[in-house]
Amino acid sequence: MVVPQKIDRAKENKLDNIENFVISKNKDGVVISTYEDDIWDLTCLFNTVHSQFSRIYFNNLSHRQKGEAKWLTYILLKKATSKRGAAIKPSTILIYYKNCIRPLTEFSTLNNCSVFETIENKHYLIKFARQSQKAGQLSCIGAVLNHINGLGKEITKVSINDIRLVHQLSVLAKSKNQYQQHPVIPSRIYLSIIKNLWLIVRNYWKKRQYVHQLIIDISNDREQAKFCWDTVSGAKKHFPLLAKKYALKKFCSDHNIHSVKSMVVYIRMLQNSCKHLIHTYTGMRDGEVLNLKSTCFNKIKTTTGYITVIEGETTKLVANSLKVRWVAPPELKEVIKVLTNISTLINTVSNEQHEGWLFLSTGYLGLATGETSGKNHVERLNQRSCPTTLFPKEITISEEDLKELERLDPFRNWLQDPKFKVGKKWHLTSHQFRRSLAVYAAQSGLVSLPSLKRQFKHLTKEMTLYYAKNSSMAQDILGVNSNTPDHFLHYYHKIKPEVDAIAYIYNILLNEEPLQGAHGQWVERHNKGKNILANRQNTIDRFIKGEISYKETALGGCTTIQPCDKKVMRSLSACLDCSKAVIVPSKLSEVIEQNKLLIASLQEGSVEYRIEQQQLSHLISFQQRMQIKA
Distances (CA, A) of 499 to 190, 452, 504, 518, 564: 17, 17, 8, 23, 20
The 10s digit of each residue's pLDDT in 498-551 is: 888 888 887 888 888 899 988 988 888 877 655 555 577 788 888 888 888 888
Q: Are 547 and 561 in contact (CB under 8 A)?
A: yes
- Residue 6: C-alpha distances to residues 23, 91, 586 (Å): 10, 21, 72
Within this chain, do residues 146 and 193 fall inside the same structural domain, yes or no? Answer: no
For 13-63, the DSSP string reads T-GGG-TT-EEEE-TTS-EEEETT-SEEE-GGG-SSS--S--EEE-TTS-H
> In terms of domains, do 275 and 146 share one?
no
pLDDT 10s digits, 230-244: 656 666 677 888 888
Q: Count of CB atoms within 10 A of residue 3's CB?
A: 10
29-46 mean pLDDT: 84
Q: pLDDT for 75-98, tens place per residue?
A: 998 888 877 777 888 888 888 998
Q: How far is CA 194 from CA 51, 204, 273, 432, in A?
A: 28, 16, 10, 13
Determine contact, residues 555/572, Cβ cutoff 8 Å: yes
Same domain, 99 and 197: no
485 belongs to a structural domain: no
| The pLDDT value given to residue 187 | 84
pLDDT tens profile 257-280: 888 888 888 998 999 899 999 998
Q: Which of 486-489's residues contact partners 24+ apart within 8 Å by CB, and which partners?
A: 486/285, 486/288, 486/314, 486/315, 486/316, 487/314, 487/324, 487/326, 488/282, 488/283, 488/284, 488/326, 488/434, 488/437, 488/438
Specify whether 72 is located in the same domain as 193.
no
Note whether 220 and 75 are same-domain residues: no
Residue 164, pLDDT score? 73
**Amino acid 374: pLDDT:** 37
Statement to judge: residues 204 and 147 lie in one domain? no
Judged by average pLDDT, the poorest of 137-146, 211-220, 464-473, 487-496 is: 464-473
Average pLDDT over residues 549-567: 82
- Residue range 209-238: mean pLDDT, rounded: 76
Residue 626 is predicted with a pLDDT of: 82
**Residue 505 forms part of a structural domain:** no
How high is the mean pLDDT of the chain?
Answer: 78
Query: In the predicted model, is pLDDT for residue 476 greater than 80?
Result: no
Question: What span, in angstroms and rounded, lies between the C-alpha atoms of 438 and 184?
Answer: 9
Task: For residue 440, tell me if it sits in a domain.
Answer: no
State residue 271's pLDDT score. 92
More confident residue, 486 or 419: 419
pLDDT for the residue numbered 159? 83
Distance (Å, rounded) from C-alpha 224 to C-alpha 300? 48
pLDDT band at 14 (very low <50, low <70, confident <90, very high): very low
Instruction: With cut-offs at 50, 70 and 90, classify the pLDDT of residue 247.
Output: very high
One domain, residues 42 and 127: yes
Residues 195 and 176 in one domain: no
pLDDT score at 394: 62
Is the pLDDT at 446 greater than 70? The verdict is: no
- Residue 250 confidence (pLDDT): 92
Are the beta carbons of 88 and 74 closer than 8 angstroms? Answer: no
Q: 516 and 585 in contact (C-beta within 8 Å)?
A: yes
**How many Å apart are CA 598 and CA 592, to the nearest integer?**
10
- pLDDT for the residue numbered 474: 54
Residue that terminates a domain, selected from 156, 180, 204: 180
> Domain span at residue 259?
187-294+330-382
- pLDDT band at residue 10 using 50, 70 and 90 as cut-offs: very low
- Any domain includes 444: no
The pLDDT, as a whole number, for residue 382 is 41
Q: Which of 124, 147, 180 is the last residue of a domain?
A: 180
| pLDDT at residue 445, rounded to an integer | 56
Q: How many domains does the chain divide into?
A: 3
**pLDDT at residue 432 above 90?**
no
The answer as to whether 465 is a domain residue is: no
Please tell me whether residues 247 and 127 are part of one structural domain.
Answer: no
* Cβ atoms of 158 and 241 closer than 8 Å: no
- 371 domain residue, yes or no: yes
- Domain presence at residue 234: yes
**611 and 588, same domain (yes or no):** yes
Question: Is the domain of 218 the same as that of 365?
Answer: yes
Instruction: Report pTM.
Output: 0.68
Please indicate, yes or no, whether residues 601 and 550 belong to a single structural domain of this protein.
yes
Which of 382, 400, 418 terminates a domain? The answer is 382
Let me know if residue 26 belongs to a domain.
Answer: yes
What is the radius of gyration, based on Cα positions, of the chain? 29
- How high is the pLDDT of residue 275? 92
Give the pLDDT score at 380: 39
Q: Which of 51-60, 61-70, 302-311 has the lowest mean pLDDT?
A: 51-60
DSSP H/E element including 419 = none
Band (pLDDT 50/70/90 cuts) for residue 586 is very high
Do the Cβ atoms of 181 and 139 come closer than 8 Å? no
> CA–CA separation, 35 vs 483, rounded Å?
33
User: What's the rounded mean pLDDT across residues 271-300?
Assistant: 89
Q: What is the 3-state secondary structure (H, E, C) of 127-176?
A: HHHHCCCCHHHHHHHHHHHHHHHHHCHHHHCCCCCCHHHHHHHHHHHHHH
